[in-house]
DNA sequence: CTAGCCTTGACG
DNA sequence: CGTCAAGGCTAG
């Protein structure tokens, strides 16, 4: 501390020391002819090297580089010593010659290493940032429900609409009763539920089908499109799923980040979602993340070949088993996909409705307005029922409804299974957005 | 590694 | 709304 005159603590100078000199200097510098010099930038000098400084960093006025240098080095115990006498002069030119003396000078002028955020604080900070990001994404969109469709993200429109359906079944709206070439039997059965698998098994009598009201019809369609263009579309990163890009659960989680973004996009399109308070929006979103991923995986599941459909073709599900090593969980996951996909086929409206019902879960973690959530959920349950009646006839709708709701209930169990796995993951290796959204703090 | 530039949350 | 002071990112 050769000269204590130039270094003051932030508190000291901020309150009682106007220190007008800086202004004078600023003006003197540019003179009367000052071109709108940005601010009255006073020329502070770095206490370490004399370079230009913007303000305090870790309790001393320093330049950006010494700030970064200090942040990088102050906490690690060094074995490196000065090659000379330990009193090297440090200026903007020589500052990088001797890290030891530079760091020593940092401490000498009063920089405090305890102002560097530790792992815990840093993590907390990142979480806050991530949370705000989500909040912003969800909130910011005064735009109306459906005038942002232009684009979602071009891959969605490029890949999503057309070829997604190609392999197993081509169909999407309306009578999704398309047909999996499967089947020798007219009915598929699981868990005591019998539903016809082939459209030819459905009643031919028109009056056996519900006529959706106009509102219902548009809502169903919108939901289908919303799902298709967001969660239900494939994205390039699923190409990353190819080879053995998935070595660990971590990779799996991090690669799922795109899917989370899609989920946000999806809910942003729902006007009902906006009826929720901001907290409940976040809560219900978080609560639905894992389920979304599962639903999504089911929609890309190809029953006939036990594989996933990706932008790069099909990938056998065994690669996931290998990646995670959680065989048991994996098996139940696949079993789930099989069952769900068999019922829902490639009907985006169905997947969309299912997702909505999962999202508006009055029983979800941390939700405040259970009532509202429940009301909205009911609305979509009814819509789902009606939709099923319009597609599968009154005769079979009930079976489908039971089957689907049952599957949605199972979703919880499987999600929880995955959640347990997630708890074993090292938070430091996970992207902040996923950390936040999965509650892995 | 460095160092410059950028994004953020807290604070007044 | 502007300033301050953290961390992050990334050419070089």
pLDDT digits (tens, 9 = 90+) for A283-311: 898 888 888 888 888 888 888 888 887 76
Per residue in A379-390, pLDDT (tens digit) is: 999 999 999 999
**Cα torsion angle, A56, A60, A63, A65, sign:** negative
> Which residue is nearest to the C1' sugar atom of B8, using CA?
A129
Both structure tokens of A230: 């967001």
Crossing angle of the two packed helices A370-423 and A278-299, in degrees rounded to 10: 60
Per residue in A208-218, pLDDT (tens digit) is: 999 999 999 99
Is residue A51's beta carbon less than 7 angstroms from any atom in nucleic acid strand B?
A: yes
The rounded Cα A343 to chain-centroid distance in angstroms is: 28
> Which residue is nearest to the C1' sugar atom of C8, using CA?
A126
pLDDT value for A356:
96
Chain B positions with an atom below 7 A of a protein C-beta are: 1-6, 8-10
pLDDT value for A262:
82
> Which residue is nearest to the C1' sugar atom of B2, using CA?
A65
pLDDT value for A312:
64
Which nucleotide in the DNA or RNA is closest to residue A60, CA to C1'? C5
| Residues, CB < 7 Å to strand C | A 10, 39, 55-59, 67-68, 71, 115-117, 122, 125-126
Residue A129 CA distance to nucleotide B8 C1' (Å): 7
Mean pLDDT, chain A, rounded, equals: 74
Which nucleotide in the DNA or RNA is closest to residue A68, CA to C1'? B3
Q: Under 8 Å CB-to-CB from A417, ≥6 apart: which residues?
A: A329, A332
Chain C positions with an atom below 7 A of a protein C-beta are: 3-9
Whether A78 has a pLDDT exceeding 50, the answer reads yes
Q: Please tell me the distance from the alpha carbon of residue A322 to that of residue A324, in angstroms, as a whole number.
A: 6
What's the full length of chain A, in residues?
441
Crossing angle of the two packed helices A327-344 and A370-423, in degrees rounded to 10: 140
Which nucleotide in the DNA or RNA is closest to residue A71, CA to C1'? C7
**Residue that wins the pLDDT comparison between A205 and A111:** A111
CB A329 within 8 A of CB A421: yes
> Which residue is nearest to the C1' sugar atom of B3, using CA?
A65
A278-301 b/e (C-beta count within 10 Å ≥ 16 → b): eebbbbbbbbbbbbbbbbbbbbbb
Residue A222 sits at the vertex; the CA angle it makes with A277 and A382, to the nearest 5 degrees, is: 70
Partners of A53 in beta bridges: A44
Of A47, A43, A6, the closest CA to residue A24 belongs to A43
The least confident of A171-180, A293-302, A365-374, A417-426 is A171-180
Q: Which of A3-7, A153-157, A307-311 has the highest mean pLDDT?
A: A307-311
Q: Please tell me the distance from the alpha carbon of residue A178 to that of residue A392, in angstroms, as a whole number.
A: 11
Is residue A268's beta carbon less than 7 angstroms from any atom in nucleic acid strand B?
A: no
pLDDT value for A231:
85
CB A64 within 8 A of CB A117: no
Is residue A63's beta carbon less than 7 angstroms from any atom in nucleic acid strand B?
A: yes
The rounded Cα A86 to chain-centroid distance in angstroms is: 50
Is residue A132's beta carbon less than 7 angstroms from any atom in nucleic acid strand B?
A: yes
């Amino acid at each position: 501390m050769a000269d204590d005159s130039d270094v003051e603590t932030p508190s000291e100078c901020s309150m009682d020391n106007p220190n007008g000199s800086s202004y004078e200097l600023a003006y003197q510098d540019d003179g009367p002819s000052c071109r709108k010099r940005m601010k009255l930038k006073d020329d502070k000098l770095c206490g370490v090297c004399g370079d230009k400084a913007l303000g305090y960093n870790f309790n001393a006025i320093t330049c950006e580089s010494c700030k970064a240098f200090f942040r990088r080095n102050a906490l690690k115990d060094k074995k490196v010593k000065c090659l000379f006498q330990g009193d090297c002069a440090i200026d903007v030119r020589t500052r990088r010659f001797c890290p030891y003396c530079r760091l020593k000078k940092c401490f000498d002028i009063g920089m405090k290493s305890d102002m560097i955020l530790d792992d815990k604080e840093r993590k907390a900070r990142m979480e806050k940032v991530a949370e705000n990001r989500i909040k912003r994404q969800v909130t910011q969109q005064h735009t109306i429900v459906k005038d942002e469709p232009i684009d979602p993200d071009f891959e969605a429109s490029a890949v999503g609409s057309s070829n997604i359906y190609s392999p197993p079944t081509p169909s999407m709206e309306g009578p999704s009763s398309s047909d999996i070439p499967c089947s020798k039997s007219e009915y598929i059965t699981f868990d005591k539920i019998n539903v016809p698998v082939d459209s030819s098994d459905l009643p031919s009598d028109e009056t056996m089908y519900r006529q959706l009201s106009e509102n219902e019809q548009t809502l169903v369609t919108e939901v289908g499109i919303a799902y298709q263009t967001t969660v239900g579309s494939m994205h390039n990163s699923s190409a990353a799923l190819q080879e053995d890009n998935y070595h660990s659960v971590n990779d799996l989680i991090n690669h799922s980040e795109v899917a989370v973004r899609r989920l946000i996009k999806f809910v942003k399109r729902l006007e009902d979602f906006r009826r929720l308070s901001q907290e409940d929006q976040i809560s219900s979103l978080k609560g639905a993340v894992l389920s979304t991923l599962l639903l999504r995986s089911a929609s890309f599941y190809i029953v006939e070949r036990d594989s996933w459909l990706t932008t790069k073709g099909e990938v056998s599900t065994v690669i996931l088993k290998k990646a995670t090593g959680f065989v048991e969980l994996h098996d139940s996951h696949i079993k789930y996909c099989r069952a769900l996909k068999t019922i829902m086929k490639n009907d985006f409206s169905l997947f969309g409705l299912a997702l909505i019902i999962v999202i508006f879960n009055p029983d979800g973690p941390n939700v405040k307005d259970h009532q509202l959530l429940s009301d909205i959920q009911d609305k979509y349950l009814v819509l789902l029922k009606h939709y099923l009646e319009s597609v599968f006839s009154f005769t079979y709708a009930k079976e489908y409804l039971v089957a689907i709701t049952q599957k949605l209930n199972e979703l919880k169990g499987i999600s929880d299974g995955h959640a347990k796995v997630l708890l074993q993951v090292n938070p430091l290796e996970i992207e902040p957005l996923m950390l936040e959204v999965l509650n892995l703090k």
